[in-house]
Amino acid sequence: MGMSIPVEQNKRPVEHQRVPKIDEDVTTVIVQVGEIAETQKKHTALLERHTLLLKEIKQNQIDARLDRRVLLTRQERTEIAVANLGDEVSDLKTDVSQIKDTLGVILSRLPEQPAA
């Protein structure tokens, strides 16, 4: 048979200096993962607040639109009422004019009274 290498020579000696370095690296990774988790919690809280604020803003916009519609409806009703008042005033002027004409006719038919 050919030369065989003893089993003990196949094994590499454990590098005792690498084990603490690996432990240190693992600890660093664990700390960093914890920091990332905390950052994610903060971001999640911010996103939740942001979402609530957006909902509130949207509701305020909806309310404002409804209020605006109500105001526009009231304004339209007021404008219609004002226009109707204008028509009524015009009708009253016509009526007063007709009354004056009628009084003029009545007065013209009365006999003249001598001045006292």
Q: Is residue 39 part of a domain?
A: yes
Binning pLDDT at 50, 70 and 90, where does residue 50 land?
very high
Reported pTM = 0.47
> Domain containing 82: what range?
18-106
- Predicted confidence at residue 22, as pLDDT, reads 84
Angle at CA 113, nearest 5°, toward 105 and 116? 140
What's the pLDDT score for residue 116?
62
65-89 pLDDT tens trace: 999 999 999 999 999 999 999 999 9
Phi, psi of 112 (to 5 degrees): -75, 135
Q: How far apart are CA 60 and CA 86, in angstroms?
A: 38
Q: Is residue 54 part of a domain?
A: yes
Residue 50 maps to a domain: yes
Q: 3-state DSSP call for residue 56?
A: helix
Residue 64 placed within a domain: yes
Q: Give the number of domains in the chain.
A: 1
